Chains A and B, each alone.
Chain A
Amino acid sequence: MSNIHMPVYLLVVLLGTALVIPLMAKMTNRIVNIFLTYAIMIAAILSVFTLVNVLLNGAFTYHFGLWHPSYGIEFVVDEFSAAMTVLVTVMSALVIIYSFKDVEHELEGHVIPGYYTLIFLMLFSMVGMTLTNDLFNMYVFMEILSLTSCGIVSIKRKRENLMASLKYLMLGAIGSISILLGIAFLYMVTGSLNMTISYDLIQNAWSIYPRNILVALGFILTGFGIKAAVFPLHTWLPDAHSTAPTPSSALLSGLVVKIYIFGAIKILFRVIGINIISEVGIPLFITYFAIIGMIMGSVFAIGQKDIKRILAYSSVAQIGYIILGIGLATESGLSVSLFHVVTHALMKSALFLSAGAVIYQTGKRNVNELNGIGYQMPVTMTVFSVGALGMIGIPGINGFMSKWYLSFAVLEAGRPLILLVILLSSFLNAIYYLPIIINAFLRESKDRENILERDQVPKSMLIPMGIIAGLCILFGFFPQLIMGVIERAVLTFFNI
């Protein structure tokens, strides 16, 4: 259990599975699915062991090849990395189990092994990007993540998928280039690519070369802004997340976008440091974008008719919450931001997976055609209602707790007017989520009768949805299970 190689075993398992799947392409689906389930379960268990190890024994660093950190690659496994790794592996385990039956409907048969290869590579790069402590290593993982996430959007060979994926790729490339340029500016000043070593060097260099560091900040923030879908740089997100196959949408909206935010947090707090940032006024700058994103995301969502597009715009609004937490630049702000990462991952996955099940059974995506569907798919619509009520902020579901903590963080940071913005955005969320639930359960349509039936969706799709909804409610009642770990994790950003 106290094996320090655990994170690397995790990466090896994910990468190994990704490489082995194409070799198994000729076997039947059933064998491949069982193999994948085992692989992701092992990965999840390894990450949980790592988290337990870190919580009990403290953080540790892992040097690849035992090279000294100033010229080797270093992994830092502290509470933050371990907790977020657990989030990534557990969520993707549930989504992958869901996807076994769903991809047979959505994708052509011969691309399915390729799909799983891409997903495992994506997981590999997500875990790597969370754990790494080296700037260029982060860039490399980020590029792998960018390519594979474009891959899982365009794997469905419809033409709107291709356009959406191309736009995502182009904007993602521009974002990566900005980030690389920013890293270049930082490297000019410090000469080292390791984050912990750079921190001290930058604090010294701030008085000598302030312009370099500021230009670097500008490029890095804009680059991460594109990739993390901060308003108004979010324009690729509605197309990409709505046209992608359902498990991809869930992973993209729930996890991939957040990993870029983790990269941004790491650079802002661990490389440049909170002192310089507060001096320059970056938190205020970020807060403005966050507030506009929270409101405009919901405003755009009200006018949409495709259910997955509504959920995609809702993601833009929720990312606004996360950025707001970062922009408050206090410990409670950052902890509420990480809490909302976990909460949103759970809720948005529940929403996307249940929307996917509805599309699986009825083939309809337009919200106006889904009247009365609650009777034919009660479990699915219950999961959807749990996710939607959490987004609105009903107590008992974890979305309420993240709004609660966010309000307190806002008040502690001394910006009480933002409370009004949170209130307004909750109400706007209600405007577009409640009609979906009401239409599903209470309206009648000519296509179907309002008699309670069983969902005709396979069990392997219903069980992960149910587990995610159950986790939402569990963390809604007992949020301190997560908050305890997150508060310990946040200290690693402020106590350098």
Chain B
Amino acid sequence: MNLNAAFIYQNINYVGSSFLFVIGLYTVLTHPNLIKKIIGINIMETSVFLFFVSIGFIQGGQAPILNLEGKPVLYVNPLPSALILTGIVVAVSITVYALSMIVKIYEAYGTIELDEIMKLRSEEANE
């Protein structure tokens, strides 16, 4: 397993997925803005979906539509795509829930920067 350009080109899906995962994790780690954190989580989720779907791809396979001519045909695995549909729904619901909570947090605290919120909370705790 040598890391030259041909290898990366052939497995570009997986490499891209790992890049996206790290980018998403970095976003969640460093940005104090809550909405950016949610975007970071979305990026991480997208990277995992990309990874999962790429597992299903088979070189030289056709689209998984039923072939009524009876010849054995190599199909791309449809299962991961079906699973990821569920996964995308889950990601969307998490994002929706988080965004609605951020709206409420903005109403309550007046800011959506995490460090300012932490400062307000520690002042409140020290009273």
**A adjacent to B, CB under 8 Å:** yes
Residues of A participating in the B interface, judged by any CB pair closer than 8 Å: 71, 136, 139-140, 143, 146-147, 150-151, 154, 157-160, 162-163, 165-166, 169-170, 173-174, 176-177, 180-181, 184, 187-188, 193
Identify which of B2-10, B44-52, B68-76 touches chain A.
Answer: B44-52
0 or 1 for each of B62-94: is its CB under 8 Å from A? (1 = yes)? 000000000000000001100100110010011
Closest Cβ–Cβ distance, residue A20 to chain B (whole Å) = 21
In the complex, which residues of chain A have a beta carbon less than 8 angstroms from the beta carbon of B28? Answer: 170, 174
Closest Cβ–Cβ distance, residue B44 to chain A (whole Å) = 5
A169 touches B98 (CB 8 A): yes
Q: Which of B44, B51, B79 contacts A174 (CB 8 A)?
A: B44
In the complex, which residues of chain A have a beta carbon less than 8 angstroms from the beta carbon of B102? Answer: 166
In the complex, which residues of chain A have a beta carbon less than 8 angstroms from the beta carbon of B90? Answer: 140, 143, 176
A162 touches B97 (CB 8 A): no
CB of B104 within 8 Å of the partner chain: yes
CB of B23 within 8 Å of the partner chain: no
Q: Which of A140, A170, A173, A187 contacts B55 (CB 8 A)?
A: A187
A435 to B107, CA, bound (A): 39
B101 touches A166 (CB 8 A): yes
In the complex, which residues of chain A have a beta carbon less than 8 angstroms from the beta carbon of B38? Answer: 170
A180 touches B55 (CB 8 A): no
A139 to B84, CA, bound (A): 11
Contact of A170 with B48 at beta-carbon distance under 8 Å, contacts A147-B94, A162-B105, A165-B101 already known: no
B94 touches A173 (CB 8 A): yes
A136 to B79, CA, bound (A): 11
Chain A contact surface mostly? helix
Closest Cβ–Cβ distance, residue B96 to chain A (whole Å) = 10
B93 touches A147 (CB 8 A): yes
Total number of B residues with any Cβ neighbor in A under 8 Å: 31
B108 touches A159 (CB 8 A): yes
- Pick the most buried of A143, A154, A159, A177: most chain B CB atoms within 10 A of its CB: A177
A193 to B86, CA, bound (A): 15
Residues of B participating in the A interface, judged by any CB pair closer than 8 Å: 21, 25, 28, 34, 37-38, 41, 44-45, 48, 51-52, 55, 79-80, 83, 86-87, 90, 93-94, 97-98, 101-102, 104-105, 108-109, 117, 121
In the complex, which residues of chain A have a beta carbon less than 8 angstroms from the beta carbon of B34? Answer: 166
Q: How many residue pairs bridge A and B at CB < 8 Å?
A: 71
In the complex, which residues of chain B have a beta carbon less than 8 angstroms from the beta carbon of A162? Answer: 101, 104-105, 108
A174 to B41, CA, bound (A): 7
In the complex, which residues of chain B have a beta carbon less than 8 angstroms from the beta carbon of A181? Answer: 21, 48, 51
Closest Cβ–Cβ distance, residue B123 to chain A (whole Å) = 13
B45 touches A157 (CB 8 A): no
Q: Which of A71, A159, A180 contacts B105 (CB 8 A)?
A: A159
A150 touches B44 (CB 8 A): no
- Pick the most buried of A136, A139, A147: most chain B CB atoms within 10 A of its CB: A136
B93 touches A166 (CB 8 A): no
B86 touches A163 (CB 8 A): no
B97 touches A180 (CB 8 A): no
A147 touches B97 (CB 8 A): yes
Closest Cβ–Cβ distance, residue B48 to chain A (whole Å) = 5
Q: Which of A157, A180, A188, A193 contacts B87 (CB 8 A)?
A: A180
A166 to B86, CA, bound (A): 22
Closest Cβ–Cβ distance, residue B51 to chain A (whole Å) = 5
B101 touches A154 (CB 8 A): yes
Q: Closest 9 A-B residue pairs measured CB to CB? A: A159-B108, A143-B90, A184-B52, A166-B101, A181-B48, A162-B105, A173-B41, A180-B48, A177-B44
B51 touches A169 (CB 8 A): no
Contact of A157 with B104 at beta-carbon distance under 8 Å, contacts A166-B98, A177-B48, A184-B48 already known: yes
Closest Cβ–Cβ distance, residue A300 to chain B (whole Å) = 15
A476 to B108, CA, bound (A): 46
A463 to B125, CA, bound (A): 35
Residue of chain B at shortest CB distance from A150: B97
In the complex, which residues of chain B have a beta carbon less than 8 angstroms from the beta carbon of A187? Answer: 52, 55, 80
